[in-house]
A and B are shown apart, each in its own frame.
Chain A
Amino acid sequence: MPSILAQTNADVTILNGAIDLEQQAQWTYGAAAGTKLLKDDVLAVALKISGQHKEHEAALTAAVKKLGGTPPTAKTSYPLPDLKTQEDILKYALKLEITAANAYYDAFTKLSDNTLKLAGISIMGSEVQHVVVLRSALNLDPVDTSFMPLKSA
């Protein structure tokens, strides 16, 4: 059975992976806003979603520090596909949100600490709701699966 320390280190690694996804999401929504392709109401939603990713990052960062770990610093840029239309942006954002939601589901099965598992699930609940909003905006069925993980966009 892994030592407590090994379990803690493993948990920190998982949480840091989640922080990276949250940082990527915020950067991506910022880049999307910068394209000026988003209509006002869609831009407002994107900014709101990004703000929630910021809250997720803050919570995860606090958890990592509490465990004695070091959270990652946000990168200066992340991969971005060619974005020519609002629809392109929404599709890419959806892809990121699905990835994040599924990552939190996977994290749940691997984290050793119950408090962290619950925190992760509460964030997963937010990501899956982002998926609903983006799928609705793309005129896709908002809830297209009965169980996690979500299907790829």
Chain B
Amino acid sequence: MNGNVSRRGFIKSSALFGGAVAVALSSPAGLFGQQVVAAQTDDLSIITFEYTLEGVAIAAYTAAAGLNILPKPVLDVALKFAGQHKEHQAAFAAVIKQKTGKDPVPPAGPFSFPELKTTEDILKFAKTLEEVAVGSYYSAVGKLKDPQLAATSASIFGIEAQHVAVFAAALQGDPIPGAFVTGPTEDVVTKTATAILTPPTTTTSSMPTSAPSTGAGGAANKGDDYTGTVLGILGAASVAAAATLALRNHKEQPAEDTKE
């Protein structure tokens, strides 16, 4: 099918985690994550992976909130989205319980999150996680045999795509960069999920974010960039960002707007 399938433009997991992915430990926690990721061959293992990823998102938002650096409007968004991920998690938990007779257990960590020192770090990581979620659900709907589970995954896919747009706008980027939304490929989803679910080694310090440095100032001042209500941030930023890019890319100007 023709179309501008937008799998490109995604921060590769290797870039996010500064190069080498953490060496796998043989700890049960590490194996749990990798086993869950490596499975995904049948409906149960696919939704178990989705369930696990939702748990990772909840853990990430909880950790970010706990750093106490987010300005209130951004914190409110993080907590709200965490709440939505909890609903997604609960939907899959119910199905897993139904299929196995047992309540699933969310991933306990510790997780290999990138270094989160500023609000911008958190927003970038949140956007990455949501993109991974989009990609995972896109892959899932293509593989799930049960139409109900496929519909649930398609439904959640839509919400995660919205989460991505919100963070893109909050980062002063384009919330609607492409006409076709698929998220990253299954390969990138798998690598990123594995990296996050693999506990950090005891000898390494927490992994650096290697998202390109914007040269932004210290954490103390960064909060100033995000003052204002959530709606103000998102309204102004999303419209302005999209507008800027639209003006740059717009090829056919209406006659009265053409400037030589």
Contact = CB atoms under 8 A, between A and B. Distances in A.
Interface residues of B, number: 57
Interface of B: 1-5, 80-81, 83-84, 87-88, 91, 134, 138, 141-142, 147, 150-152, 154-159, 161-166, 169, 175-176, 178-182, 231-232, 234-235, 237-240, 242-247, 249-250, 254
Those 9 A-B pairs whose CB atoms lie nearest each other, nearest first: A125-B181, A48-B246, A41-B243, A52-B179, A55-B179, A148-B155, A44-B243, A125-B161, A44-B246
B155 A62 contact: no
Contact of A49 (B151, B176, B232): B176
A105 B231 contact: no
A143 B88 CA distance: 14
B176 A126 contact: yes
A121 interface: yes
Contact of B163 (A41, A115, A143): A143
A105 B246 contact: no
Contact of A105 (B155, B232, B235): B155
A48 B1 contact: no
A142 B165 contact: yes
A101 B163 CA distance: 15
A52 B3 CA distance: 10
B156 A133 contact: no
A137 B175 CA distance: 12
A147 B80 CA distance: 14
Interface string A111-129: 0001101110111111011
Given A55-B179, A121-B138, A139-B235, A108 B151 contact: yes
Nearest to A147: B155
Interface of A: 33, 40-42, 44-45, 47-49, 51-52, 55-56, 58-59, 62-63, 101, 105, 108-109, 114-115, 117-119, 121-126, 128-133, 136-143, 145-150
B180 A122 contact: yes
A148 B243 contact: no
B231 A141 contact: yes
Contact of B154 (A108, A119, A138, A141): A108
A136 B237 CA distance: 9
Given A33-B254, A59-B180, 13 more contacts: A44-B246, A52-B176, A63-B1, A105-B154, A118-B138, A125-B138, A128-B165, A136-B166, A136-B231, A142-B238, A143-B163, A146-B87, A147-B155
A123 B181 CA distance: 6
